[in-house]
A = this chain, B = another copy of it.
Amino acid sequence: MHMVNERMLALGNEPSAIRELFAYGLTRKAEIGADKVFDFSLGNPSVPAPAAVRSAIADALGEPACALHGYTPAQGTPAVRQAVAHSIQRRFGCEASPDRIYMTAGAAAGLAIALSAVTHPGDEVLVVAPYFPEYKVFIESAGCTCVEVPARANDFQLDVPAIAAAVTPRTSALIIDSPNNPTGAVYGRAALEELAAALRQKEAELGTRIYLISDEPYREIVYGAEVPWVPAVYARTIVCYSYSKSLSLPGERIGWLYAADQMGAEESADVYAAICGAGRALGFVCAPALFQRVVERCVDEPSDVAAYAANRELLTKGLSELGYEYVEPQGAFYLWVRALEPDAEAFAERAKKHELLLVPSNSFGVEGWIRIGYCVDASVIENSMPAFKALAEEYVQ
């Protein structure tokens, strides 16, 4: 008897720990009141889309409906690809051809497409732990093995020697994201240059190609740190960008892939063609047409990080007063806090008794930490402090 596909059934029946915690939070809020539950589980932006998005939608709706809502080329309209390429040129002083930009239905689509494009079944793809859990899902969908390389223990920066040591002849790609989810770490220029040198050396040693997939949904959410443009440092890069956080549009599914011109005309053309092929193979006909128009108009719209910066201040100040240890986040909107016992899941369960919804680090491939998403109303942080205090007191002997 044929059954449904077991891998897909398991993926459908085992929603991520993050989603489960969020669902628990909704139930709990209904039971005891929304203001009594401190839900730090999700990465759903708490800052609304900027007014420019609303204007761009209104403006786009002036286009005749058949053209506006019609199929776009699979890679995106020429206008939006031009706008993105120009923005890259202006911001980073780097070559960027519109013919190497491929509009996607957000970063998840971009990652799935990029992985299918540059890997073969049986390959290995490196990730830096802790890492966004869906990376493993997308890597395995491409028929590859997810190989976890721990970040540096003290500051969660890249451990380049460990990455180099994990490279094998089957390694076809490495995924990084900076600013990092879940730690908030930003990889500086020196670190990226060290990584690039190590990857190039491994390529030369093994006679292989290693693609660096730079997942950048949090590029704009930074607190003073510079986020270097990766293709300027390592040529064999595919940038995976999303407007989910920068323009607060996560439900609209809009972003892009960029096959770096720096690879050279021939290789970047092949990578781009493989991206187009993978998009087609996975069922992505084109990125949503109306939001392609929005991006065309809002490509340089600044992200509103003031609320996240204020939340970060409020949260780190409060938790450090209570004696919690955490990594000072340079970007994104997550705080990575050491659990008060070695078992992060047990700690998160205990936190739940105080109505604190914290994601245990096991979800991200490491032990002993929890992630606090501070993309919430400031009042949630303020009101949660007595609960964090009571939780810490449980661990005082």
Is the CB of A379 closer than 8 A to any CB of chain B?
Answer: no
Which residue of B has the minimal Cβ distance to A113? B283
Q: Name A288's contact: one of B111, B251, B278 (CB within 8 Å).
A: B251
Contact with B along A266-294 (1 / 0, CB 8 A): 00001111111110111111111111100
CB neighbours of A383 from chain B (8 A): none
Give the Cβ gap from A47 to chain B, nearest Cβ, in Å. Answer: 8
Which B residues are CB-close (under 8 A) to A272?
12
Q: Is the CB of B54 within 8 A of A278?
A: no
Structural contact, B252 and A289, CB atoms closer than 8 A? yes
Interface stretch of the complex, out of A66-74, A88-96, A321-329, A389-397: A66-74
Instruction: Say yes or no for A137: interface residue by CB 8 A criterion.
Output: yes
**Alpha-carbon distance between A120 and B57 when the two chains are bound, in angstroms:** 42
Q: Per DSSP, are chain A's interface residues mostly helix, strand or loop, or mixed?
A: helix
- Distance in angstroms from A140 CB to nearest chain B CB is 8
A32 contacts across to B, CB distance below 8 A = none
Most buried by B among A2, A46, A118: A2
Which residues 106-145 in A have Cβ within 8 Å of B in the complex? 106, 108-113, 116-120, 123, 134, 137-138, 140-141
- Indicate with 1 or 0, residue by residue over A82-101, a CB within 8 angstroms of chain B CB atoms: 00000000000000000000
B120 and A5 contact, CB distance less than 8 A: yes
Contact with B along A344-356 (1 / 0, CB 8 A): 0000000000000
Q: How large is the interface on A (under 10, 10 to 19, 20 to 34, 35 or more residues)?
A: 35 or more
Query: Of the candidates B42, B48, B209, which one forms a contact with A2 in the assembled complex, judged by CB atoms under 8 Å apart?
Result: B209
Whether A274 touches B8, Cβ cut-off 8 Å, given contacts A251-B72, A289-B251, is yes
Report yes or no: A12 in contact with B276, Cβ–Cβ below 8 A. Answer: yes
Contacts of A291 on B, CB cut-off 8 Å? Answer: 288
Q: A71-B250, A248-B66, A272-B12 are in contact. Are A277 and B57 (CB under 8 A)?
A: no
A1 to chain B, nearest CB (A): 6
| Distance A275 CA – B140 CA, assembled complex (angstroms) | 17
A109 / chain B contacts, CB cutoff of 8 Å: 283-285
Counting chain B CB atoms within 10 Å of each CB, the highest count among A45, A61, A66 belongs to A66
Q: Known: A4-B117, A12-B274, A137-B280. Contact between A69 and B49, CB under 8 A?
A: yes
How far is B70's CA from A46's CA once the two chains are assembled, in angstroms?
9
- In the docked arrangement, what's the CA distance between A57 and B116, Å? 35
Say whether A249 faces chain B, with CB atoms less than 8 Å apart: yes
CB A22 to nearest CB in B, in angstroms, measures: 10
A186 at the interface (CB under 8 A from B): no
Whole-angstrom CA separation of A105 from B252 in the bound complex: 11
The answer on a CB contact under 8 Å between B286 and A283 is no
Chain B positions within 8 Å of A137 at CB level = 280-281
A to B CB contacts below 8 Å, 16 in the list: A5-B118, A5-B119, A8-B116, A10-B277, A11-B276, A11-B280, A45-B66, A48-B66, A108-B285, A109-B283, A112-B283, A141-B281, A141-B283, A251-B290, A253-B287, A283-B284
A residues contacting B by CB (< 8 A) are: 1-5, 7-13, 42, 44-49, 53-54, 57, 61, 64-66, 68-72, 105-106, 108-113, 116-120, 123, 134, 137-138, 140-141, 172, 207-210, 248-253, 270-278, 280-292
